[in-house]
Amino acid sequence: MEGLAIRASRPSIICSLPGLDGGSQRLPLSDGFLRLPTSSYAADKPKLVAKSASLHPISAVNVSAQASLTANFPALSETNVKEERINGDKNKPENIVWHESSICRCDRQQLLQQKGCVIWITGLSGSGKSTVACALSKALFERGKLTYTLDGDNVRHGLNRDLTFKAEDRTENIRRIGEVAKLFADVGVICIASLISPYRRDRDECRSLLPEGDFVEVFMDVPLSVCESRDPKGLYKLARAGKIKGFTGIDDPYEAPLNCEVVLKHTGDDDSCSPRQMAEHIISYLQNKGYLEG
């Protein structure tokens, strides 16, 4: 359920960091967010009591080309923010509180010199999602950026191995991948999720998990006929023979995105649209939006 995001009310910390070009940047470290479930019981309003700490500006020294930092952090006590016990409704585990991490997303982004986000590549089977994901991760690596690919198939061997292809399991498959991708983005990783994800509602749910802009939906706009002619896994053949039921594009719908960030449209000319070129197209988007800097 939607929660209420409350900003911990302690002074924000400013970090002075000599940049690699010798200039200096003042970078705010974001406050930790405590997210509390909205309470339908007026009496159970969660309260935060912030203890103001005497903080002072810190300077990070010895920034190497790998952007590793040695910094003296102010004494951030784990008790900086005191929480009242939260009583949730009967459908939620009551005995849970948020724990604040003193290293925040901003710190990790500074270390990695990039901003975490989720590149969600969607499209029919055989549209080239995994191919573009591979090319993208390689191209970003060559720029010194850290990515990780969550492929629908890879995840089904591990985290989602208990799920089938029934409708409700497909939804759960996407939900879990969305949640994991969100965690990766919070780490600062550029997380590439590459899965058919045919239903608009499920993709939009994943989008809603992330802050505005951090969900980059990439639509592999390739006609069914082209995908089927490729048929890299032989699945269309099996689906046409009736050996697989509910196969997307054959007897289950694919709902194209209405408002995605990037469309990679098949032109029929492989020279003008190689996987590498498609990857570069996505990279331009990321660059323009500032995801390839700390």
Partner 1 sequence: MSTNIFWQESPIGKTERQKLLNQKGCVVWITGLSGSGKSTLACSLSRELYTRGKLSYILDGDNLRHGLNKDLGFKAEDRVENIRRVGEVAKLFADAGLICIASLISPYRKDRDACREMMQGSSFIEVYMNMSLQLCEARDPKGLYKLARAGKIKGFTGIDDPYESPLNCEIELKEKEGECPSPVTMAEEVIAYLEAKGFLQNQ
Q: How far is the CB of 87 from partner 1 (least distance, A)?
A: 11
Size of interface with partner 1, in residues (CB under 8 A): 66
Which one of 44, 186, 252, 255 is in contact with partner 1 (CB under 8 A)?
Answer: 186
CA angle 220, 178, 30 (to 5 degrees): 115
76 part of the interface to partner 1, by CB under 8 A: yes
Which one of 12, 24, 33, 35 is in contact with partner 1 (CB under 8 A)?
Answer: 35
225 part of the interface to partner 1, by CB under 8 A: no
Q: How far is the CB of 290 from partner 1 (least distance, A)?
A: 20
Q: Which CB, 82 or 265, lies closer to partner 1?
A: 82
Alpha helices (H) along the chain: 105-112, 129-142, 152-156, 167-187, 200-209, 224-230, 235-240, 275-288
Which one of 48, 224, 226, 244 is in contact with partner 1 (CB under 8 A)?
Answer: 244
Say how far apart CA 54 and CA 135 lie, in whole Å.
48
Q: Which CB, 101 or 229, lies closer to partner 1?
A: 101
Q: Which CB, 84 or 267, lies closer to partner 1?
A: 84
Q: How far is the CB of 157 from partner 1 (least distance, A)?
A: 7
Residue of 197, 208, 272, 274 marked catalytic: 197
Asked whether the beta carbons of 9 and 52 are under 8 A apart, the reply is no
188 part of the interface to partner 1, by CB under 8 A: yes
151 part of the interface to partner 1, by CB under 8 A: yes
CB atoms closer than 10 angstroms to residue 67: 14
Q: Which CB, 19 or 267, lies closer to partner 1?
A: 19
Contact stretch for partner 1 (CB under 8 A) within 71-79, 249-257, 274-282, 283-291:
71-79
Alpha carbons within 13 angstroms on the beta-carbon side of residue 7 total 6
Q: How far is the CB of 209 from partner 1 (least distance, A)?
A: 8
Say how far apart CA 136 and CA 142 lie, in whole Å.
10
Q: How far is the CB of 138 from partner 1 (least distance, A)?
A: 5
Say how far apart CA 243 and CA 235 lie, in whole Å.
9
Asked whether the beta carbons of 289 and 190 are under 8 A apart, the reply is no
Say how far apart CA 61 and CA 63 lie, in whole Å.
6
97 part of the interface to partner 1, by CB under 8 A: yes
Q: Quick one: which of 105, 147, 124, 164 has its CA closest to 282?
A: 147
Enumerate the active-site residues: 197
